[in-house]
Structure formats: structure tokens, C-alpha cells
Amino acid sequence: MDTIVDNECAKEMLKATKMTDNDKYLFRFNRIVPEDNNHEKNYKMHPGLRMLRRQDYLDVNGCDEDLVGNYGYYTLSLEEHLMAAKGFDLYDLVNAYILYYPEGDCDYLDKSNKKNKKKVHHKMQTGKWSNDMIRFKWHEILINNV
């Protein structure tokens, strides 16, 4: 895990949920790198973390499942769905700082985003997005508290 929401960030997030001028915001977060003010990601908006209402996520079937298994552009698919289908706007929470710890990042993960970049740009041109929510079989397990 390379990102942490501390108490100060959580407070800013809660404030954002009470905004009344527009209920169609997709919130983005700023990052700080606590132990390295010169890090390239310090004070840069996080490219993949967003905050929105659960129902809005479900209404557009979440992120495009065609992008699963490859790196990158997953969040962009959600943004495109929400902005095109529901008239959402991006809202940068510049005072809500996600703490980024580089040592928690995966060095061994292939972070080439070429496959997803090509898929997303094609989908943006054609407007043909996946309507699948989850493509694997699942079932709910109820556990009784004894």
C-alpha cells in the first residue's frame, strides 16, 4: 500500500461530502510525500484515486472491465462514464492530502499502460464502453455472529 488517508485528509473529505452547490462532483486528491519534498509526486494530484457516491458508481457500472488485467486508465474510464452520461465535473480537493509512501509501491509490477491507453482512446472515440459490472462468478456468504 503506497497511499494513506490520515485524519486531516479524512476531515477534508467529509467537508466535501457536504458541498451543496453541485452534487455531480468527482473528487480528486492532492498527494504529499512526507519524507521527500523533492519527490516527483509531491504536491501532484493522484491520477487514480477518486471519491464519489456509491450509487453514482453503480449507475455507470463502475470502471470499464475491459481494462482489468493491465495497468493504467482504469479511473479515466470511470471519469468518462460519469462526465458523459451523468454530467459530472472533476473537483480537485487541493487541501485534502493523500500521503504517498514510495516504499509501498510495487517495483515488480509492469506499469506499462500502452494496452489500456489504446483501448480507452478507442472507446472514447466510439463511445462503446463495457456494461459489465463484474465478470467473474460470485456469491454472497452470510456469517452469523454467535
Strand duo 25-32 + 89-100: pairing: parallel
Quote the domain boundaries for residue 56: 3-126
Tell whether 115 is covered by a domain: yes
The identity of residue 86, as a single letter, is K
The answer, yes or no, to whether residue 133 has pLDDT greater than 80, is no
Compute the average pLDDT of residues 133-143. Answer: 75
Tell whether 131 is covered by a domain: no
Tell whether 137 is covered by a domain: no
- Is the overall model pTM greater than 0.95, yes or no? no
Tell whether 138 is covered by a domain: no
Tell whether 146 is covered by a domain: no
pLDDT tens per residue across span 34-50: 989 999 999 999 988 89
pLDDT tens per residue across span 1-25: 789 999 999 999 999 988 767 788 9
CA distance 64 to 119: 10
Q: What is the predicted pLDDT for the residue at 78?
A: 87
Tell whether 42 is covered by a domain: yes
Q: What is the predicted pLDDT for the residue at 124?
A: 86
Do residues 123 and 64 touch, judged by C-beta distance below 8 A?
yes
